[in-house]
C-alpha cells in the first residue's frame, strides 16, 4: 500500500521536526487487545487503558554501545538465569506511577537514559476516545472552523460521555456501534441526551447538538457499513504510521505475529519504493527491544496516572510528591523534553485535548 499521502500530511500538517533524519528506533507495545470491541456488558478490555507503542531511539551515529547496555543490565541485579528482562522485573509490585518512580530498578533505568542522553519515542491511543470521534468527524459542520474546532468538539463530547458513560455505552451496544442501521434513532437520542444535561452556555456542545439535528435524515458517513460492535479491528495502522513518519530510520520491533501478517499482506510503499527498513525480532535476542519493553511499561503507568486525575488534581498530586520522587520525576520529564527536542514526532497521541493538556502540564511542571 502506498503511504505517500500519509507521509506528506505528517510532514506538512503534522509539522514533525527532523523527519528526514537517520534514526535507529526500537519498539515494544503494551495494552494491545488486538481488537477493541463492544460486548453485551461493555468493552472487551478496560477502555481507560491506552494502547502504547514505543521504546528507545537513537540518531544513527549515537547508538548505545554493548558496554553501555551491559552497564544498565548490571544495575538491575537480576539472577544470572534471567533470560530476558521484562517490565515485571523492574516494577517490583508498584501499584501506581508515583510508587513505581521510586523503585530502585526504575530509578536505574531513568538515570541511565538521562545520563546517556538517549531518547524515548511513543505513540498512544485512547481506545474509548478513538471509538467515539467518528460521530464528530461524520458531520461536515464540525470542520467549518478547521482542525481546532473539530478537536474541541470531540473533546467536549468525550468529556460529557465519560461523565455519563454507562448510559452512553448502553446506547452504543443497543445500536451495534459503529455499524448504525437506524441513524435517525441514534441522532435523536444523542440530541435529546445533550439537551437533558443542562449544558448551559457551552458553545461547543450546543454547536454539536444543532449540527446533529440536521443528520436525522442523513447518514453519519463513518458509522455505516462497518462491522457490528468492532471499534478498532486491529492496530496495524498505528504501526505503519510510525514507520512511515521516519522513512530513513531503521525500525526494530518486537515480534507481533498478528501485525506482521497484516503488514506482510500489505507492504509499506512510499513514493514508489518499498525500501523502508523495518523488521520484527525476538526480544530475547535484542536487548534494546527489552529496554523498550521497560520504557513502555513506565509510560503505561505514567499515562494511567494522568488519566486518573483531573487537570487540577494532577497539579495537586505533583505538589505532594516526596523529595526522592521529585528528583526522579524531574529526570523523567527531562528525558521526555530532550526526546521532543530531537523530533516532535517522538510523541504521538490519539487522545483528547484534555489529556494532552495533562501531558503538557507534566512537561512544564517545575520540580524544584
In the chain, the N- to C-terminal Cα span, in Å, equals 49
Alpha helix ranges (H) inside the chain: 4-12, 66-75, 87-91, 97-100, 104-116, 127-137, 146-163, 165-174, 183-196, 203-213, 236-245, 257-265, 287-307, 311-319, 323-342, 353-364
What would the mean pLDDT of 93-114 be, rounded to a whole number? 96
Is it the case that residue 199 has pLDDT exceeding 80? no
Q: In which order are the strands placed within the sheet that holds 51-59?
A: 277-281, 250-254, 23-30, 51-59, 119-125, 347-350
Please give the backbone phi and psi of residue 320, each rounded to the nearest 5 degrees, phi first.
Answer: -100, 0
Please give the backbone phi and psi of residue 251, each rounded to the nearest 5 degrees, phi first.
Answer: -105, 120
Count of residues in the chain:
368
- Rounded CA-CA distance 24/61 in Å is 9
The pLDDT of residue 82 is 81
CB within 8 Å of 220: residues ≥ 6 apart = 134, 135, 138, 139, 180, 183, 186, 187
For the chain, give the percent of residues with pLDDT over 90.
85
Mean of all residue pLDDT scores within the chain: 93
- Rounded CA-CA distance 143/147 in Å is 7
- pLDDT band for position 2 (cuts 50, 70, 90): confident
Q: In which order are the strands placed within the sheet that holds 36-39?
A: 42-43, 36-39, 230-232
- Using one digit for the tens of pLDDT, what is the confidence trace for 18-54? 999 999 999 999 999 999 999 999 999 999 999 999 9
Is it the case that residue 210 has pLDDT exceeding 90? yes
What would the mean pLDDT of 58-68 be, rounded to a whole number? 94
Contact assessment for residue 90 and residue 103, using Cβ atoms and an 8 Å cutoff: yes
Contact assessment for residue 75 and residue 105, using Cβ atoms and an 8 Å cutoff: yes
Is it the case that residue 274 has pLDDT exceeding 80? no
Backbone Cα Rg of the chain: 22
What would the mean pLDDT of 144-160 be, rounded to a whole number? 94
- pLDDT band for position 207 (cuts 50, 70, 90): very high
How distant is the alpha carbon of residue 94 from its chain centre? 22
Of 314, 366, 235, 296, the C-alpha closest to 25 is 296
CB within 8 Å of 254: residues ≥ 6 apart = 27, 28, 29, 280, 281, 283, 289, 292, 293
CB within 8 Å of 225: residues ≥ 6 apart = 179
Cell of 9: 500530511
Is it the case that residue 13 has pLDDT exceeding 90? no
Is it the case that residue 308 has pLDDT exceeding 80? yes
Half-sphere exposure of 103 (CA within 13 A, CB side): 21
The pLDDT of residue 170 is 97
For the chain, give the percent of residues with pLDDT over 70.
99
Least confident segment among 137-146, 263-272, 280-289: 263-272
Cell of 286: 535484542
The domain ranges of the chain are 4-127+231-364, 140-219
What would the mean pLDDT of 292-320 be, rounded to a whole number? 96
The pLDDT of residue 273 is 63
pTM (2 d.p.): 0.95
User: Three-state DSSP class for 328?
Assistant: helix
What would the mean pLDDT of 311-338 be, rounded to a whole number? 96
- Using one digit for the tens of pLDDT, what is the confidence trace for 72-89? 999 998 877 788 999 999
Is it the case that residue 160 has pLDDT exceeding 70? yes
Is it the case that residue 245 has pLDDT exceeding 90? yes
Residue entry with cell 523527519: 19
What would the mean pLDDT of 310-332 be, rounded to a whole number? 95
Amino acid at each position: 500500500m502506498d503511504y505517500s499521502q500519509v507521509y506528506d500530511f505528517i510532514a506538512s500538517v503534522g509539522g514533525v521536526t527532523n523527519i528526514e533524519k537517520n534514526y535507529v528506533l526500537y519498539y515494544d507495545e503494551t495494552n494491545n487487545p488486538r481488537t477493541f470491541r463492544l460486548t453485551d456488558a461493555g468493552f472487551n478490555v478496560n477502555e481507560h487503558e491506552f494502547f502504547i507503542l514505543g521504546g528507545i531511539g537513537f540518531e544513527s551515529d549515537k547508538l548505545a554501545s554493548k558496554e553501555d547496555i551491559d552497564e544498565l543490565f548490571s544495575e538491575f541485579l537480576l539472577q544470572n538465569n534471567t533470560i530476558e528482562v521484562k517490565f515485571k522485573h523492574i516494577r517490583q509490585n508498584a501499584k501506581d506511577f508515583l510508587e513505581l518512580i521510586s523503585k530502585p530498578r526504575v530509578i536505574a533505568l531513568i538515570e541511565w537514559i538521562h545520563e546517556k542522553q538517549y531518547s524515548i519515542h511513543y505513540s498512544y491511543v485512547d481506545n474509548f476516545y478513538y471509538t467515539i470521534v467518528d460521530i464528530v468527524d461524520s458531520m461536515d459542520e464540525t470542520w467549518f472552523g478547521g482542525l481546532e474546532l473539530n478537536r474541541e468538539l470531540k473533546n467536549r463530547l468525550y468529556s460529557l460521555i465519560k461523565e455519563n458513560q454507562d448510559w452512553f455505552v448502553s446506547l452504543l451496544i443497543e445500536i451495534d456501534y459503529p455499524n448504525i442501521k437506524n441513524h435517525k434513532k441514534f441522532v435523536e437520542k444523542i440530541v435529546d441526551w445533550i439537551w437533558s444535561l443542562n449544558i448551559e452556555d457551552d458553545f461547543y456542545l450546543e454547536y454539536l447538538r444543532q449540527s446533529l439535528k440536521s443528520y436525522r435524515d442523513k447518514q453519519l458517513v463513518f458509522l455505516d457499513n462497518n462491522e457490528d460492535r468492532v471499534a478498532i479491528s486491529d492496530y496495524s495502522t498505528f504501526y505503519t504510521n510510525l514507520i512511515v513518519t521516519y522513512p530513513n530510520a531503521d525500525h526494530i520491533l518486537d515480534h507481533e505475529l498478528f501485525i506482521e501478517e497484516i503488514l506482510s499482506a500489505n507492504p509499506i510503499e512510499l513514493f514508489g519504493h518499498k525500501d523502508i527498513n523495518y523488521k520484527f525480532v525476538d526480544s530475547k535476542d535484542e536487548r534494546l527491544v527489552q529496554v523498550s519493553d521497560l520504557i513502555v511499561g513506565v509510560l503505561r503507568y505514567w499515562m494511567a496516572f494522568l488519566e486518573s486525575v483531573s487537570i487540577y488534581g494532577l497539579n495537586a498530586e505533583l505538589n505532594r510528591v516526596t523529595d526522592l520522587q521529585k528528583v526522579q520525576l524531574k529526570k523523567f520529564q527531562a528525558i521526555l523534553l530532550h526526546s521532543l527536542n530531537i523530533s516532535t514526532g517522538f510523541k504521538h497521541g490519539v487522545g483528547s485535548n484534555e489529556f494532552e493538556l495533562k501531558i503538557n502540564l507534566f512537561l512544564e511542571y517545575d520540580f524544584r
